[in-house]
Structure 1
């Protein structure tokens, strides 16, 4: 049986996600200086993708998983992210993409996920992807089975941690030999920046606007 407080949180969040979203206003707060300067836009070669932001109750807290990408020859190597990836031809929509990728990357049982809604799609210039964040819930804390090719580590973050304003910082972050000025969230020893931080920014703005 779902914790009543978690059920109330999920119901209120679902209602709020059906209303207009803050989108660019929230994204801008956690965008890197280079992104703001370049203002790049999607093009004919841009691909679609999706990530899953999934909440679940555990010991009186509300948690969600982030993943640490392994080091590899790619633009997002070693970065923190939500489980997700590119849309495949067999995916009927981007919600299906988010669920499938979460299952493949960390072993979440997608048949148990209840989708609450979506955040604003976000363009990621370095990889030329348009990413759809999908928000859902699980009624229990899942067992994670990370795919070592895609995930080095799963980090469970509480909603209270995310909403702590002291986790926000900004400095130069080295990415593939280049220093990038970017705001970030400091979570359990990891810097969460870039597109993932921009999604979290919108998520928190949405949650904070839910009527108490």
Structure 2
């Protein structure tokens, strides 16, 4: 994991101040006996939430009190899973921003993803209103293809097979799959240079 830090952008971007809705998520990594793992949450089922019940990273919309999108990711992670990233993790960097898509349409929101490495083993305290469960996905198995899957997305009576990961029966697809693939790309880059 050390070289991953060197390959990710750690700076705040000018886009942080752009108009329009913004959100931020935290990809939290930890060392485990079988290799690095990444924290995923399953969102609670909520009417009107386009990502209801989906697997994702802790995170959410930027609040007026957030000085930066990094602050948004830190605040949302603390609220959703009880981890204070400022005291329990090291920032490894930031992925490229991605446009939010819900039900096959761009929402106008842009999502920033920050990657952290846990220091120690902080206790997880889940927000029952927002998080149904958490799982730790094994990066080596995601890299090897052992967790590759296909998710069939149905929109307007049309079926679309989409790439996904199957993590213990939970399907990771869409935006989270895309951001997780970006992280895996950085890990692959590190392995090819080492």
Q: TM-score, normalised by structure 2?
A: 0.83
Q: What's the counterpart of residue 39 of structure 1?
A: none
Of Structure 1 and Structure 2, which has the larger fraction of its residues in strand?
Answer: 2
Please say if residues 69 and 151 of structure 1, whose CA atoms lie closer than 8 Å, have aligned partners that are also in contact: yes
Pair 1:89 & 2:80 matched: no
Alignment of 1:1-80 (within 5 A): 9=1, 11-18=2-9, 46-59=20-33, 61-73=35-47, 74-80=49-55
Unmatched tracts of structure 1, length 5 or more: 1-8, 20-43
Give the Å deviation of 1:166: 3.0
Distance 1:76 1:68 in 2: 10
Distance 1:64 1:166 in 2: 16
Runs of 4+ aligned structure 1 residues displaced above 6 Å come to none
Distance 2:43 2:160 in 1: 19
RMSD: 2.3
Give the Å deviation of 1:180: 4.5
Give the Å deviation of 1:169: 2.2
Please say if residues 106 and 146 of structure 1, whose CA atoms lie closer than 8 Å, have aligned partners that are also in contact: yes
Q: What's the counterpart of residue 120 of structure 1?
A: 96
Distance 1:179 1:148 in 2: 33
Match of 1:150 among 110, 130, 141: 130
Q: Which moved more, 1:184-193 or 1:160-169?
A: 160-169
Please say if residues 58 and 141 of structure 1, whose CA atoms lie closer than 8 Å, have aligned partners that are also in contact: no
Pair 1:100 & 2:75 matched: yes
Please say if residues 25 and 60 of structure 2, whose CA atoms lie closer than 8 Å, have aligned partners that are also in contact: yes
Q: TM-score, normalised by structure 1?
A: 0.77
Give the Å deviation of 1:143: 1.5
Give the Å deviation of 1:163: 1.3
Q: What are the superposed Cα offsets for residues 165-211 of structure 1, whole Å, 9 maximum, x if unpaired?
A: 13222241358x98543211111111100000000111111110012
Unmatched tracts of structure 2, length 5 or more: 11-17
